[in-house]
Structure formats: structure tokens, C-alpha cells
């Protein structure tokens, strides 16, 4: 089980690096895949900076957490994805569904469940000191 969780976390980290690199290299196309339109240099700068950092930081902490089997190192990625999922749920409740809404939330939920399973399997609290 430990090896499976570690492998899945490394694969999730690779996915995050690919997504982050898409925003770094071509924020217009990557943004369009997420329903975002770039209308100015400020917009492309924001996508390039904010979205790249979200995915790269998530990837780094997933990979480090998997490598060391450390719940503490998974905590930043878990927090990012939990807040993202919560924001999407609030948006869904306030504004209703949109085409493809379930795919993003399903991926985020799976990543959250994966990280929580790893934390439980490794026997550590996510924010222990």
C-alpha cells in the first residue's frame, strides 16, 4: 500500500508540473483549458505567475511528501487543493453548474483523498509539530 500511495503521489506531482509548465510557457492556451481568457499583459502575467506557482508548489510538496512519506510535507499541497475545492463548491452553490464543472472537482477530490490516505497510512497527523 505504501508503494502504491507513493507512486500515485509522484504521478500527481508530475501532472502538476505539466500543468504548471503549460501556464509558464503558454498562459493563453493553458488558461483557456481552465476557462480563463487573457485580455491583457497583466492577465498573462497573473496566469504565468499565480497558476505556475500553484501547480509547482503542489508538485514539490507532493513529491517531497511521497519521497519521505511525510504527512507534514503533504500539508501545503493538501491545503491548496482543499481550498481550491472549497472555492469551487461555494461557486457551484452560489452560481450553479457550468459545462464540465464536475471534472475539475473530481480531480481535486481524488487528489485530496489520495493525500489523506497517504497521511493515514503513514500514521502521522498532517500538521503535527
What distance separates the 2 farthest-apart alpha carbons in the chain?
47
Q: Which domain range does residue 114 map to?
A: 2-122
Supply the pLDDT for residue 2: 85
In a domain, 63, yes or no: yes
Residue with cell 508540473: 17
The tens digit of pLDDT for each residue in 66-118 reads 999 999 999 999 999 999 999 999 999 999 999 989 999 999 999 999 999 99
Residue range 30-59: average pLDDT? 94
What is residue 129's predicted lDDT score, i.e. its pLDDT? Answer: 46
C-alpha cell at 117: 490516505
Q: Which three cell numbers stand for residue 25?
A: 510557457
Question: 127 in a domain, yes or no?
Answer: no
Calpha distance 123→32 (Å, rounded):
40
What's the number of domains the chain is made of?
Answer: 1
Amino acid at each position: 500500500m505504501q508503494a502504491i500511495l507513493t507512486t500515485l503521489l509522484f504521478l500527481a506531482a508530475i501532472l502538476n508540473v505539466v500543468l504548471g509548465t503549460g501556464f509558464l510557457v503558454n498562459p493563453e492556451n493553458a488558461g483557456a483549458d481552465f476557462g480563463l481568457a487573457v485580455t491583457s499583459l497583466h492577465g498573462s502575467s497573473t496566469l504565468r505567475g499565480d497558476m505556475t506557482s500553484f501547480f509547482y508548489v503542489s508538485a514539490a510538496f507532493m513529491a517531497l511528501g511521497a519521497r519521505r512519506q511525510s504527512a507534514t510535507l503533504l500539508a501545503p499541497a493538501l491545503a491548496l487543493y482543499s481550498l481550491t475545492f472549497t472555492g469551487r463548491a461555494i461557486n457551484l452553490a452560489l452560481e450553479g453548474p457550468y459545462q464540465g464543472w464536475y471534472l475539475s472537482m473530481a480531480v481535486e477530490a481524488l487528489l485530496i483523498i489520495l493525500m489523506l490516505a497517504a497521511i493515514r497510512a503513514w500514521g502521522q497527523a498532517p500538521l503535527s509539530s
